[in-house]
């Protein structure tokens, strides 16, 4: 009996739903950083550049929200990462242009009320499995390179 990837994805989602678990912590990984906030941001940017990724933007959500008169979320930055060779593979074929909605890659760095710094990012390995095919292959490449960029979180 052949089971499609969509069927597997739907079964996994149903199991999470029935067990009361959230897919959120499955789709997005969160890790405690061994470094303070600013050093964590610097290490991610430096590691990305060593891996030949560009950092087109670092959003300072704390400053942005305060400037707009909103509640202070505490230290919170989102680092946008892009590797042109990978982006080109994803965006050139018409069949995968829709993936532009997920680009560039984002890594969030923030402090929680416990005073510790955390890093979150999409679980690209899971996304690769969910999408499959050529898109999945490209997302697997992203997952491997992101793992290298964020390797300091797993020492």
The CATH number of 27-154, from 3.30.310.70, 3.40.640.10, 3.30.420.40, 3.30.365.10, is: 3.30.310.70
What pLDDT score does 130 carry?
86
Strand ranges for 33-137 from DSSP E: 54-60, 76-82, 105-111, 117-122
The residue-averaged pLDDT of 124-137 equals 90
* pLDDT tens readout for residues 19-75: 455 555 678 999 999 999 999 999 999 999 999 999 999 999 999 999 999 999 999
Return d(Cα 86, Cα 58) in angstroms, integer. 20
Its pTM stands at: 0.83
What pLDDT score does 120 carry?
97
């Amino acid at each position: 009996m052949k089971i499609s990837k969509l069927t597997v994805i739907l079964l996994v989602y149903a199991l999470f739903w029935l067990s009361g678990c959230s897919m959120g912590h499955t789709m997005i990984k969160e890790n405690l950083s061994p470094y303070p906030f600013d050093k964590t941001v610097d290490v991610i940017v430096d590691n990305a550049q060593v891996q030949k990724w560009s950092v087109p933007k670092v959003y300072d959500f704390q400053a942005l929200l305060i400037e707009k008169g909103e509640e202070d979320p505490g230290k919170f930055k989102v680092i946008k990462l892009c590797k042109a060779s990978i982006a080109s593979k994803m965006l050139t074929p018409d069949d995968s242009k829709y993936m532009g909605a997920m680009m560039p890659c984002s890594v969030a760095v923030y402090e929680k009320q416990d005073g510790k710094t955390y890093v979150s990012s999409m679980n690209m390995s899971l996304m690769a499995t969910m999408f499959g095919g050529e898109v999945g292959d490209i997302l697997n490449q992203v997952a491997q390179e992101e793992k290298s960029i964020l390797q300091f979180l797993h020492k």
